[in-house]
Structure 1
């Protein structure tokens, strides 16, 4: 840094910038007002320009006295000590008495429409009264970029894990613990057998339990409700179909009453319609499921009529598709399963929506719902399956034979395997070694069913050691001084920390390329 005499005349008109072709790498233009903007250079030359400016460093002239600002009530001026505070990025332009940010200039993608965003790149900053904002702004910007780079690397690690799993079977190991801020965190670890036959356990994510996705985020449940909505929309889309639905109900009820299968009385057997599931109230899904079960026969009849007599081929094809879904055992099973689950959670939903609800009653209802759901999970399977079978028999829906033994060429493979392997694979002591040797000798292709069986057995979790290590790492990363760390930032840190071996395989250039491709800066 050279000592220069101050130039007081700062009222010169704004000068034109040079064209990129006019500037040579060996003769860098140090004047921020006339040097070409970095995005104007050709990409082949841009990197060399950036490297040359970084090597030269920011322009930081030291003056005996810097000019005062034009504000006579609060006369302030630039301080040379600020160069010591910000030695790597702060640039000062003598003629206009303004400062710039060298890295902001070098890594800018294009000019912003907001004037304030261009202060340190094109226009210059000279509000010395708010000079403290410079440091705050730069620190905030650095923190944002650090988090973005961290997220990029964590995403690359997760993609690498997905690539290792491929289409193989994998097991999800889940455990929970409280972090420093008393949040319930759920660790997700994936256990699988890689292409070479080695058992791997990879930490994949941390999920705050309060943010665990609702059941509709499960793909199979989402598919079920999509199909349910399609059925309701087709059957109830017009007044004509609504009238047909009402007429079909009347015929059905009359037949049931004639056979003494339906009780009569005041207010009983009123005509209804299929109810739509709303997006804002989860209990509406329960009513939609119940209405379809109650009106299954007439809904099936209406869909058959639309399939045969629809006005357009699109209507007929759509009705045929949803009718095929409606008549499948898988859909009927999901229909009754959702009825059982939502019948338990309906009371919970209604209780939590009451304005006068207190925390003690809410906790009691939540505990009761959890116990009933656990009871359904432990002891309700046989009863549910029996209800589904009776429903399918009543409506003449094919029921898969669940007692049929799975047959394949597995027995033949076992016979050849038992005779061949002992002669070729000796001194194999564990299943993991056997899986690896089958891969090395390419016997896994010959006995692919045996190899698949071994891999599935190895995929089964044996312990929760990996999840416990994840919690130990969480206590190292999220301490009392960092108790307000955001969940995404915590997860990205832990993915890179725990799976450091994978993170170390990525080059700096690949991280920079991924970071740059995410958005314009």
Structure 2
């Protein structure tokens, strides 16, 4: 996916200094300053709305004009608390340099804060964006100024610094020689190349110890040093003394480069979608610090008719209720400049906060867009069915409990895991010598018992398949553990496991469940294909139901033959199907049914 989405960025290098300067100058020349610079603060465009390359020029223009302080106009009266109030022009002298008045809005503004204050700072809304007209509370103006080091003071200091033209970046940049500029861009391209390969391979950037004496400074710095050794031009640009403070390898630089990669990938995805429709896929997940996060994926068809699923955001949410998730989606859509009107489908799991008919996330979105139909994830539904059946049937539930205990006993220590590998290698060597196994590429790989996941029943299928393949090895390991006199708890568990897994009951359940999970695992993999559509998914579900029905009606003897063959191979006592079934827990009571009827 990285190869496809970042192809354009990979081919791209950092622009040359001349091209950057030309681009900035052309952007500046396109601005009509007479129309852009407004004297009235209530009619001005906010500084953050300008492109970063032109903001400093805009600030200079406003500083040249100075604050808007009309003194001769007639200030209108406004009734506040039953008393007529108005702006007092003498305040211009008292709060010299920063206080402004908007004749169109009849409100006061702060000139310094307009030029440099951040949106997140307190007082931005009142004195920059909306204006202030609480003329009955003059102390509010004094409070706005605040103490040294406050937001207003820092904005005023930045205005003073901006008037010192010798300290400006563009002046300093013009003083730098052309060779120094080229060296800078060479170092920048070197960092971009290293970050590119690390992102593509999904490797971490930082190292535990990145000091000069460290033997392993982390992937980014080690790769960067390697590139310097192989690239004489980069090595020459780095060796110069002037590069000591601009090597462009700091963690902040690394984050900025990766952030640019992410923006480019998102731009490519949004360009593919355009104004077309798409489906919204959302799921909740926790990170390693147990913070709730919402992962969002867009599913759409590109201009070549190919179905694509693209991850577009991971948003931290304080709560997982439907209202909080909806707000997070709205915020992310606003950043991506997408509309809920483009959504033609919603795909979530079966949690009530997601699929709730009245207050779930799907219902909140459908209130804004009735075409955003909700589809419960088919693969998740399949997992829920398997979990419900496994819990409902006593024998199956007990079987999976014993599987869990088996995994804890044989895989609970590195010693027993090594024992499994050694015994399995001996068994495999014997089978190869007897001609029972074939040799070839990809055959007879090292095996181990994989611990299944609670919500991924395809992992249960892999665990049971490994148990069938390694059954003689597992039995020998349990026999060795059973003789261990040091740990009586593990010893007793191994004894109970031997008794259980050498019974006809466990072998029957093992083959029955393995057969069923083999059928459902094929369905699960088909449902998770990226190019899967709803029509084909329903056909896959129907086909699987037919397979299960055929297993019930016509493949009993085939299953029984597999069970008997396994019992013969591993010296396990078989049951005659026509004999009377004897309940192990009620041996004195006759069941009145045959083994065939019971199984």
TM-score (norm: length of structure 2)? 0.32
